[in-house]
Amino acid sequence: EAGVTQFPSHSVIEKGQTVTLRCDPISGHDNLYWYRRVMGKEIKFLLHFVKESKQDESGMPNNRFLAERTGGTYSTLKVQPAELEDSGVYFCASRPGQGGTGELFFGEGSRLTVL
């Protein structure tokens, strides 16, 4: 069974440009999460989808960040326009909709560098 996949693994852009990160969760997982780790800090929650609906987006830093999950399958996280402080590693995680232990299955992350 394929795990959570994220693309790109690394993106280098200039301040003011736009970047779109993609996450493909494990097939059948209704819950999809985005997290971010800025250097030296803890992994921080950004938002949570249940199927195609945003369950909780309290962690989104500002309106330059837009997350979508059309059709309840893969998700995209767009940063527009990117700022220097957006640099970090963006992790996607998924878990089944019901039951299970609550464990999250993480992707390998997308490293974003804003110059």
Partner 1 sequence: SQKIEQNSEALNIQEGKTATLTCNYTNYSPAYLQWYRQDPGRGPVFLLLIRENEKEKRKERLKVTFDTTLKQSLFHITASQPADSATYLCALLSGYSTLTFGKGTMLLVSP
Interface with partner 1 by CB under 8 A: which range of 21-29, 53-61, 68-76, 80-88? 53-61
Report residue 96 as tokens: 């089944």
Report residue 83 as tokens: 């700022």
Q: Is 31 exposed, middle or buried (0-12, 13-18, 19+ CB in 10 A)?
A: buried
Q: Smallest gap, in angstroms, from Cβ of residue 1 to partner 1?
A: 15
**88 makes contact with partner 1 (CB under 8 A):** no
**99 makes contact with partner 1 (CB under 8 A):** no
16 versus 100: smaller Cβ distance to partner 1: 100
Q: Is 86 exposed, middle or buried (0-12, 13-18, 19+ CB in 10 A)?
A: buried
**25 makes contact with partner 1 (CB under 8 A):** no
